[in-house]
Amino acid sequence: MKTDKNTVIGFVLLGVLFFLYFWYSNKQQTAVLELKKKQEDSLARVQASKVVPVDSTTARLDSLKRDSASRVAIAGDFTTAALGSESLVVLENKLMKVTFTNKGGQVKQVALKNYTRPDKQIVVLADDSQIGYAINTGTNRSANTTDLLFTADAPSRNSDGSQTIRFHITSPSGETVAHTYTLREDDYKVDWQLQLQGADRLLSQGLLNFQWKSETHQLERSAEYERQMSNICFSEGGEFDYISAKTDHTFEKPVQWVSVVQQFFNSTLIAKNGFNGGQVKWQRMTDSSHRLAKTEASLQMKVPVTASVDVPLQLYYGPSDYAILKKQAPEMDRIVNLGRDMYSFVRPINKFVIMPVFDFFASFVTNYGWVVLLLTLFIRLVTSPLTYSSYLSGAKMKVLRPELDVLKQKFGSDQQGFAMEQMKLFREAGVNPLGGCIPALLQIPIFFALYSFFNSNIALRGQSFLWSHDLSSYDVIAKLPFSIPLGFGDHISLFTITAVVTSFLISIYNMSMTPTQDNPMLKYMPYIFPFMLLFIFNRLPSALTWYYTVSNLVTLGLQFVIQRYIINHDKILAKIEEKRKAPKSKSKWQTRYEQMMESQKKLQDLKDKNQKRK
């Protein structure tokens, strides 16, 4: 026992030393960075003092002349596309405000009216994005449409309430490029009709090569966590796929749509007739800025080599809401991550159980914290029959504990002999020693299902509950002056603490129900797991840690009620005695296990005899 106490004290001291080390190391690194910044600023001031001042007015005029000459050269026969300056046109409906620019005749940015960032500013998408394609502007000349200035017609309102804006450029010989955008009421999707007159001269061999460049920016509390949740999704050959760890993907089959995805929002380019192929390159940022990722997509489309060509496209800028995305394009609802790859087995659980039940409770309960609580109670109610059987198995183990203690004293250090007799006792009593593992095994698929669901459910975004201001992100009750590694971060989450404390109480209770262990590692393993949860949970959505807390409280309550008022230990003991008297039939597994244990025991006895002879 003294050795075990020393082990515990050693672990505690080691933990304190690690904490002090990480705090001191972080402080030293901060000091070094500050010193380095001062040195760089000093060098920059010295270099700046050596620069010969230039007349800013002259420099600006020279720059404008060079830019104007470059635009004229690029525009070729489309001379009007090189003249003038950028101008903006705005269309809006109840859901969003879309700003268009005549430079490239494209969307410049989209403001989502019903969503705000943590700083209370409106969520803005596509503010650092451009979509264009190459056209022939003259003999041996070509340009990307993003470099050309289009002429904008006055916006018009249609009979169905939708709005339309048209951008166009025309050459003296009659070639015309027109972009017509239509924004419908109550819709996050913009219809984009691309029209080419003289397409056989504007395009080389009827090939439209779209270039989409995009850079996403932080919209949630933690840029680091939002980067982790970001990815590129697409539909290739009619099947959904995505890249997250990879940095590029080459399309070998027709592409229906490509989407730049953040945690709760996405920008998607949809081709009604599909792209023939292409490539996408994606780079997740690793710095401490508000930038998340950069995307460059090249998408090819083969069109008829005729004088007139119409290409129907669509642009979606909006929330990654399952119900909304399901109406946009085939497979777009899979942008919402309900379980992928090795966790794809939880997608049916989310799609057919968790999501419908959650939406049902949310239809009449306004606070989503209570919705999560009701969802937790529903899950526990459904799994209660299996949970009860595990508690019954635990009660049988508790009844047999005095006999196990006697066997332990009898065999002493002979672990193999004790294991054989313990298995024999369990068989006689009709006890399954693994029966108590059922709740833990049930938690695995349910936890992964809820992890995916709460991380991708935009309904939780910005919803406050108790001390949490946003159930889709972690709650903060204390901000640390340093960052603790291993995923803990620079804050303390109270819901994480409640989840860890309740898990610790369950571990203590389960230890009291199982036979004592001589191995210190096995003895303290149930206490190590709740400690590990502290680092795993601290950055997870508070909806998930709140669920875990409620689930643990339900477990503790059920264990107390079932063990005290439902399960009769005297009856269990009487049934065990009856089973002992009844004839037993061994299963193949039990027979093989006993044979293996007997072989190991004989081998150990032989080793002991050889050692005594030496």
Sequence-ordered list of residues with C-beta below 8 angstroms from that of 442, at least 6 positions apart, any chain:
383, 386, 387
* pLDDT computed for residue 6 by the predictor: 45
Q: What is the DSSP letter of 306?
A: S
Q: Confidence class of residue 288 from pLDDT cuts 50, 70 and 90?
A: confident
Q: How much is the mean pLDDT over the chain? A: 80
- The string of DSSP letters for 130-188 reads EEEEEEEEETTEEEEGGGSBPEEPPPEE-TTS-EEEEEEEE-TTS-EEEEEEEE-TT-S
Token pair 């268009």 is at which residue?
100
> Structure tokens of 369?
């914290």
Please, what is the Cα angle at 192 between 188 and 197, to 5 degrees?
175
Amino acid, single-letter form, for residue 604: Q
What's the pLDDT at 54?
Answer: 47
> What is the band of 443 on the pLDDT scale with cuts at 50, 70, 90?
confident
- The band of 97, judged by pLDDT with boundaries at 50, 70 and 90, is very high
Task: Decide: 232 and 262 in contact? Cβ < 8 Å.
Answer: no
R_g over Cα of the chain: 33
Span 314-353, pLDDT tens digits: 999 999 999 999 999 999 999 999 998 888 889 999 999 9
* DSSP helix/strand/coil, 208: strand
Q: What is residue 91's three-state secondary structure? A: strand
Reference 130, options 11, 245, 227, 215; nearest CA is: 215
pTM, entire model: 0.77
Query: What is the dotted CATH code of the domain comprising 84-336?
Result: 2.70.98.90
CA end-to-end span of the chain: 32
**Hey, where are the domains in the chain?**
84-336, 347-582
CA-based nearest residue to 303, from 169, 195, 168, 175: 195
**Closest to 379 in 3D by CA, of 443, 470, 318, 323:** 443
- Whether the CB-CB separation of 318 and 112 falls below 8 Å is answered with yes
In sequence order, the β-bridge partners of residue 176 are 170, 197
Q: Are strands 291-302 and 207-217 parallel, antiparallel or unpaired?
A: antiparallel
Segment 250-273, tens digit of pLDDT? 999 999 999 999 999 999 999 999
